[in-house]
Amino acid sequence: MSLPKIDIFSLILEIIGAFIAWAFKGFKGKLMDEISGPYESSRKSWRNLIISTIFVFLVASIVISIQKKNEKNREEKKGITIIKTE
């Protein structure tokens, strides 16, 4: 007898979305109430997926923005000026 394969990536997205939804509700109830079961395809699953996707893209865009800003500051400290021509 083998256990069903759990997709770790979707589980992580489900937990992130559930936690954010739970936080918006003021941490009322239980976190497990916001997570749908492994074989369910419900509104909770879709809500958690959408919230998690938005959160991941938001974090990624912030990280990229900070990296670009740091790169620009390093170039200015070295005295290098990059001129962009169009």
Instruction: Give tens-digit pLDDT for 25-80.
Output: 998 989 888 887 766 767 888 898 899 999 999 999 999 999 988 888 777 777 65
Q: Residue 82: what residue type? A: I
pTM for this model (two decimals) = 0.68
Read off the pLDDT band of 5 (50, 70, 90). low
Handedness of CA 19, 22, 27, 29 (dihedral sign): negative
- Do 14 and 48 form a contact (C-beta atoms < 8 A)? yes
Question: Residue 15 contacts by C-beta under 8 Å, 6 or more apart in sequence?
Answer: 35
- pLDDT band for position 23 (50/70/90)? very high
